[in-house]
Structures are given as C-alpha cells and as structure tokens.
C-alpha cells in the first residue's frame, strides 16, 4: 500500500540564504508526483528535507499522517521511505549483488554478535535476501551483472542498480532524484516502464525530480513546479507546460526546459 506524503509550509535556509520557502503539497497514495523547476529551484533540497538529510527550519512533513520532521534518514527508512541520489553512489568495489543487498539491510534480523557467530537464522535470512535480490535483478534484466564488480559497469546501469537497491527496501514512498539523467534513449524507456509498474502493480507512491519535461509529462500524475525555493504551481504536466509562470521561470534557463 502506498504512503500518503503531506508537506506543509517547509522552509529551509543555509547561512541566511532561503533555499525553500513555505513549500507544501500532498500526494495521493499510489500516484507519481513530478517535482520540476529550473536549476537551483530547490528540488533536491526539498528531497533532502523529506529524506531527513536536511532539517527544515519550519514546517511539517507527514507520512501517512505521522509527523516525521527531524527524524534521521535512518529512522525514516522505517516509515517506508526510500530514495535514490542524483549521482548514484554505489560501492564500486563491491559486487552488484552486494550493492543491491544493502537495500535490504533493515529487513535482516539479528545483532552483531549473532552475525559474528553466524547463527543459523542470520544465515537463512541472508540467503533469502540474496535470492530476492537476484530475482529483482533478473526482473530488471540485470541478472547477468549480479556478480560483477560495480565499477565495471556503465553509468546507466549504475542508475538501474541504485533503483534496485532502493526497491530492496520495500518502500511505500519512493523518491527518485533525476532518475533519467545520463541515460540512453532505450534506458529511459525501460525506466518509464519500471516506474509505472511500481505504481500500478506495487501501488507505490513515487516522487520524481526531473529536468526532462517530456519524461515528466509521460510519467507523472501531477507535478509541482518550484522556482527560487517557492512553489510556483501544482497541477498536471500539461497544465504546467501551458502555465505562463512556468514558462517564464524556465526562460532564464531555456536549455534546461528542453
């Protein structure tokens, strides 16, 4: 079941610079929200607020009605939140499988002593997780890469692996930070299919930060447009593309709107 995410009047500032001002919106469970806006609009900062990496100076963040503002990112995971990063930070010297397994961290039972003693239940949990990860990778068409070292793969594959890692967390709320950046055309198509499937089959709530407006238009149910740390408008992608304020905001950086 997807989570409902409600933001209310989120403000964030660094050393007197207002990065976000009174941003708020609400996402229906099981829908895809696009977060768009020109460079420096505050999209990633907002992401970081939701995922707990930044602490907003005021406002409220509710996941399924529970206030999570001020909780550490590691705590937020227990609210069903998972995210990807603009630059996928994988363990380059670890295998793809190990990278993906990391996503299942919180689902593994046992303390350090049990694991050091290799008690049978830790062992079994690890094996079950491993099977699940292999299956997930195979579903993404990455089964062949499971045992390769991450640094032997391309950027596009890193993005896919990172997504798998996030999916291993069984999230109800998934934040994707520029998932299509640097992907080839074919990879983008695959991404769209995957994200749609997550919404339709797994009923996930998904927030996507993306520059690529055509991708946003195809993928999202609604969009929120940010500019200079403020919410410019909220609506469907078509409404946003037609909105004069949005066009004006992008005019300063026309290439970004491409």
Partner 1 sequence: MNPFGTFIQLLVDGLAQGSIYGALALAIVLVNQATGLVNFAQGGMAVLGSYIGLTIGNLLIPGVGSTLGVVLGIVAAVIASLALGGVVERFVMRRFERAEEDTKVVATIGLLTLITGLVGLIWGFNPTPYPFFFGGSESLRIGDVSISVWSIVTFTTIVALMVVLQILFRGTKFGLGMRAVADNAPSAALAGIRVGGLRMAGWGLAAALGTVAAILLASKSQLTPNNFDGILVYALAAVVIGGLDSPIGAVVAALGITILESLAAAYIPWIGHDLKVVVPFVLVFVVLIIRPQGLFGRRAVVRV
Partner 2 sequence: MKGYDAVVSNRWVRLGAFLVVLVVLAVLPLVADPFTNQTISHIAVFAVAILGLNIVMGFTGQVSLGHSFFVGIGAYAAIIPIRDWWGGPLAEGAIVIGFVLSGLIPGVLGLLIALVTVRLRGLALAMVTIALPTIGLPLAQKFSDFTGGNEGISIRRLDYVGADGQVHKGNPFAAGPGLENDQWQYYIVIAIALAFFALAYFLVRGKYGRAFAIVRSNEAIASSMGVSPYRYKVLAFTIAAVYGGIAGFLLIVWGQFTSSETLAFHHSIDLVIASIVGGAGSIVGAVLGGVFYVTVSQIMNGLQLSIYTTLVQGVVIILILFLLPGGLASLPRTIRRLVRRGAAGHSVEAGHAADSASGNTKTQVQPSEERNT
User: Judged by CB under 8 A, which of 20, 34, 42, 54 binds partner 1?
Assistant: 54
Where does this chain touch partner 1 (CB under 8 A) — which range of 4-12, 46-54, 201-209, 226-234?
46-54
Query: What are 49's two structure tokens?
Result: 């607020």
Nearer to partner 1, 48 or 205 (CB): 48
Phi-psi region of 170 (alpha: psi -120 to 50; beta: other; left: phi over 0): left
Q: Residue 48, interface with partner 1 (CB under 8 A)? A: yes
Q: What are residue 70's phi and psi, to 5 degrees?
A: 90, -5
Q: Find the DSSP H helices in the chain.
A: 43-50, 73-76, 96-102, 112-116, 120-139, 155-167, 185-200, 213-219, 237-242, 244-251
Q: Which does 15 bind (CB under 5 to 8 A by kind): partner 1, partner 2, none?
A: partner 1
CB atoms within 10 A of CB 77: 19
Q: Which does 185 bind (CB under 5 to 8 A by kind): partner 2, partner 1, none?
A: none
Q: What are the strands of the beta sheet with 81-83, ordered from one edge?
A: 81-83, 173-177, 205-209, 32-36, 222-227, 230-235
Q: Residue 16, interface with partner 1 (CB under 8 A)? A: no
CB atoms within 10 A of CB 197: 12
Q: What are residue 45's phi and psi, to 5 degrees?
A: -60, -40
Helix or strand (DSSP H, E) at 202: none
Nearer to partner 1, 25 or 85 (CB): 85
Measured from the CB of residue 196, what is the shortest distance to partner 2 in angstroms?
Answer: 23
Place of tokens 């520029």: 178
Report the interface residues with partner 2, using CB under 8 A: 51-53, 72-74, 77-78, 82-83, 85, 89, 91, 93-95, 97-98, 101-103, 105-106, 108, 110, 112, 115-118, 122, 126, 141, 143-145, 147-149, 152-154, 157, 165, 169
Q: Residue 53, interface with partner 1 (CB under 8 A)? A: yes
Nearer to partner 1, 55 or 107 (CB): 55
Q: Residue 71, interface with partner 1 (CB under 8 A)? A: no
Q: How far is CA 246 from CA 238, 243, 254, in A?
A: 11, 5, 11
Q: Which does 193 bind (CB under 5 to 8 A by kind): partner 2, partner 1, none?
A: none
User: Judged by CB under 8 A, which of 1, 9, 14, 155 binds partner 1?
Assistant: 14
Q: Which does 154 bind (CB under 5 to 8 A by kind): partner 1, partner 2, none?
A: partner 2
Where does this chain touch partner 1 (CB under 8 A) — which range of 48-56, 101-109, 199-207, 229-237?
48-56
- Work out the end-to-end distance of the chain between its first and last CA atoms, rounded to an integer number of angstroms: 35
* Measured distance CA(237)–CA(222) in Å, rounded: 6
Measured from the CB of residue 48, what is the shortest distance to partner 1 in angstroms?
Answer: 6
Q: Which residues bind partner 1 (CB under 8 A)?
A: 14-15, 48, 53-54
């Amino acid at each position: 079941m997807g989570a409902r995410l409600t933001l209310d009047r989120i403000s964030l500032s660094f050393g007197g610079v207002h990065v976000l001002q009174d941003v708020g919106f609400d996402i229906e469970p099981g829908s895809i929200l696009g977060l768009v806006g020109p460079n420096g609009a505050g999209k990633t900062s907002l992401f970081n607020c939701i995922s707990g990496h930044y602490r907003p100076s005021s406002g409220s963040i509710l996941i399924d009605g529970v206030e999570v503002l001020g909780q550490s990112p590691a705590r937020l995971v227990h609210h069903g939140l998972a995210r990807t990063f603009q630059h996928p930070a994988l363990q380059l010297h670890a295998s793809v499988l190990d990278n993906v397994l990391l996503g299942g961290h919180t689902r593994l039972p046992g303390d350090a002593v049990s694991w050091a003693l290799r008690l049978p239940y830790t062992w079994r949990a690890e094996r079950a997780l491993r099977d699940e990860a292999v299956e997930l990778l195979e579903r993404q068409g990455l089964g062949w890469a499971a045992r390769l070292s991450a640094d032997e793969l391309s950027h596009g594959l890193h993005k896919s692996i990172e997504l798998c890692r996030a999916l291993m967390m069984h999230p109800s709320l998934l934040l994707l930070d520029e998932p299509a950046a640097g992907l080839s055309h074919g990879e983008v198509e695959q991404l769209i299919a995957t994200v749609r499937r997550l919404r339709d089959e797994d009923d996930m709530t998904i927030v996507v930060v993306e520059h690529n407006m055509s991708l946003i238009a195809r993928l999202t149910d609604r969009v929120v447009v940010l500019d200079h740390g403020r919410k410019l408008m909220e609506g469907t992608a078509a409404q946003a593309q037609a909105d004069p304020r949005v066009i004006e905001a992008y005019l300063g950086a026309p290439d970004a709107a491409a």
